[in-house]
């Protein structure tokens, strides 16, 4: 299994057509910066009030390139989950549908406890659920609201491993390949490993790689990782 430091789209272009069984990812979308400036999301920057490093934002103008590569590398009859806010959902949905994805619905991640906000404080996040071809979910009894407590004092915007395991279990079988082009804290990769899936991922941030390698340093997962650096965008 490999993790690559570099641009998500550039990495995806190196993958073969129809070679991936599932993609789950959480890009640092443009509107995060807007919310950060007015204090309605975690202040993910180096400052007196926070030691977190703010992400390099992935601009809305690049989503079509990203989604075309996602569609290309996914196998026929597979799923794609993308975490985003309500604003970015309206940007991504029409692009994904134009490319060929079927949009099923936004799954709601209920973080259980209230977060920051201005007009009605935030408690949930959207997970856009797309399909290429037709693939049945493994458990039709799972609801479209998933309750998992947010991760406190972890990597910026870190997602619970248990949440990722639910999505992976729904959309793959043991041994299939799961990738995350913006792996961040590495929750998707850890979740895939925990339930017997192959995995790979990229992230442009050096901090993400350092955090993930530190996270797995004392686990058997560390023995399977091959870090690769410097996959750059054109």
Q: Would you place residue 35 in the very low, low, confident or very high pLDDT band (cuts 50, 70, 90)?
A: low
Residue 227, helix vs strand vs coil? strand
Mean predicted confidence (pLDDT) in 125-141? 97
Q: Would you place residue 55 in the very low, low, confident or very high pLDDT band (cuts 50, 70, 90)?
A: low
For residue 46, pLDDT beyond 50? no
Q: Mean pLDDT for the chain? A: 88
Q: Would you place residue 47 in the very low, low, confident or very high pLDDT band (cuts 50, 70, 90)?
A: very low
CATH number of 11-179: 3.40.50.150
What's the count of helices (H) and strands (E) in the chain, helices before strands? Answer: 7, 9
Supply 2's token pair. 């490999």
Which pLDDT value is given to residue 5? 96
Which pLDDT value is given to residue 229? 66
**Least trusted range by pLDDT, from 5-19, 30-44, 179-193, 196-210:** 30-44
Supply 213's token pair. 């390698």
Mean predicted confidence (pLDDT) in 47-56? 48
Share of the chain above pLDDT 90, in %: 71
For the entire predicted model, the pTM comes to: 0.89
First to last CA, the chain: 25
Inter-residue contact 80 to 204 (CB < 8 Å): no
Mean predicted confidence (pLDDT) in 207-226? 86
- Nearest Cα to Cα of residue 23 among 198, 190, 180: 180
For residue 45, pLDDT beyond 60? no
Tally of CB atoms within 10 A around 52 = 18
Scored b (16 or more CB within 10 A) or e, 99-123 reads bebebeebbbbebeeeeeeeeeebe
Mean predicted confidence (pLDDT) in 98-126? 89
Q: Would you place residue 218 in the very low, low, confident or very high pLDDT band (cuts 50, 70, 90)?
A: confident
Supply 175's token pair. 């041994």
For residue 158, pLDDT beyond 90? yes
Compute the distance between CA of residue 153 and CA of residue 12 in angstroms, rounded to an integer.
30
Supply 179's token pair. 């990738």
Tally of CB atoms within 10 A around 66 = 22
Region for 222 from its dihedrals, namely left if φ exceeds 0, alpha if ψ lies in -120 to 50, beta otherwise: alpha
- Nearest Cα to Cα of residue 142 among 114, 105, 112: 105
């Amino acid at each position: 299994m490999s993790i690559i430091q570099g641009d998500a789209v550039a990495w995806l272009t190196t993958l073969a057509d129809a070679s991936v069984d599932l993609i789950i990812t959480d890009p640092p979308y443009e509107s995060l910066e807007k919310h950060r400036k007015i204090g309605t999301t975690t202040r993910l920057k180096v400052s007196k009030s926070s030691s977190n490093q703010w992400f390099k934002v992935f601009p809305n103008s690049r989503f079509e390139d990203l989604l075309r590569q996602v569609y290309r590398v996914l196998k026929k009859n597979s799923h794609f989950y993308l975490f985003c806010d309500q604003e970015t959902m309206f940007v991504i949905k029409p692009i994904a549908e134009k490319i060929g994805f079927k949009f099923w619905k936004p799954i709601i991640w209920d973080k259980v406890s209230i977060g920051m906000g201005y007009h009605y404080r935030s408690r949930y996040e959207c997970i856009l659920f797309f399909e290429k071809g037709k693939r049945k979910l493994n458990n039709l009894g799972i609801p479209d609201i998933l309750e998992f407590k947010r991760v406190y004092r972890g990597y910026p915007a870190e997602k619970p491993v248990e949440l990722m395991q639910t999505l992976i279990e729904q959309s793959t079988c043991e041994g299939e390949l799961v990738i995350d082009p913006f792996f961040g804290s590495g929750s998707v990769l850890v979740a895939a490993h925990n339930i017997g899936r192959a995995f790979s991922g990229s992230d442009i941030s050096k901090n993400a790689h350092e955090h993930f390698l530190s996270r797995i340093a004392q686990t058997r997962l560390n023995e399977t990782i091959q870090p690769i650096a410097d996959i750059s965008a054109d």
